[in-house]
A and B are shown apart, each in its own frame.
Chain A
């Protein structure tokens, strides 16, 4: 891991903890925007363009507006203190879990992008996609090829489901547009 990766992980951790601990909902939403910025850079650094682009569009645009729309319909008590009070047993439990995961599990895992790492589920299938994706679909990114070409109808079905959910929300709210 380079210095950039360490700095990024530190930033994402700091934003995540702040998001969890703020008592004021509006502050949480703002700080959550910073978390999404850090995650997008992390995804970019790990060479996952589609995930980074989704994080950019959803995190910077949609999430904030949706969450604001939600709390606009609620009452917000003025917070008595800035941060949530920490539950000591919960902190100890989560800390122990992280300690075990960090010292026992992480060293056993393969490095990111290691070509000799074994494939868990089905090595032959993975190798087929790695070797034949470009010839089959002419898409340079294997993940994009699987989403948009190999299982294109499935993705289309998912889009239909999301569209139907949006229409259903509009019907329930008795409105014609979202904003």
Chain B
């Protein structure tokens, strides 16, 4: 019974984080500069890692942690690539 309650709490927390992601997405749309957008999507990526870890605990599926790890490892890639693209046009990596 308490385990089910805990799962519900974790799933609700994940849902709230997704609602938060929609709020963060406003910054990605509104901009006004590309840097704002990159930063917004970067925060969204970190948010995604949190949601995935909450899902892993709520669904009791440890493989979800692998996906969260992949995101934690690759999240910086877009920020680096776009920063370099903006500074020296033509260079990406």
What residues of chain A have their CB less than 8 Å away from a CB belonging to chain B? 2-4, 6-8, 10-11, 14-15, 18, 24, 26-27, 29-31, 33-34, 37-38, 40-41, 44-45, 47, 49, 52-53, 56-57, 60-61, 64-65, 68-69, 72-73, 82, 179
Contact = CB atoms under 8 A, between A and B. Distances in A.
Contact of B18 (A8, A29, A30, A49): A8
A39 B40 CA distance: 17
Interface in B63-93: 63-64, 66-67, 70-71, 74-75, 77-78, 81-82, 85, 89-93
B11 A4 contact: yes
B14 A40 contact: no
The A contact surface, by secondary structure, is: helix
Contacts, number: 126
A4 B15 contact: yes
Contact of A72 (B11, B51, B89): B89
Interface centre among A8, A40, A56, A72 (most CB of B within 10 A): A56
A31 B67 contact: no
B31 A53 contact: no
15 contacts: A3-B12, A11-B25, A15-B25, A18-B25, A26-B85, A30-B34, A30-B78, A34-B25, A52-B67, A57-B70, A60-B78, A72-B85, A72-B91, A179-B92, A179-B93
A47 B61 contact: yes
Given A4-B18, A49-B64, 5 more contacts: A30-B34, A30-B78, A40-B67, A53-B66, A179-B92
Interface string B40-51: 110011011001
Nearest to A83: B29
Contacts of B70: 53, 56-57, 60
Contacts of B48: 37, 40-41
B92 A68 contact: yes
Interface string B10-48: 011011001101100100110100100110110011011
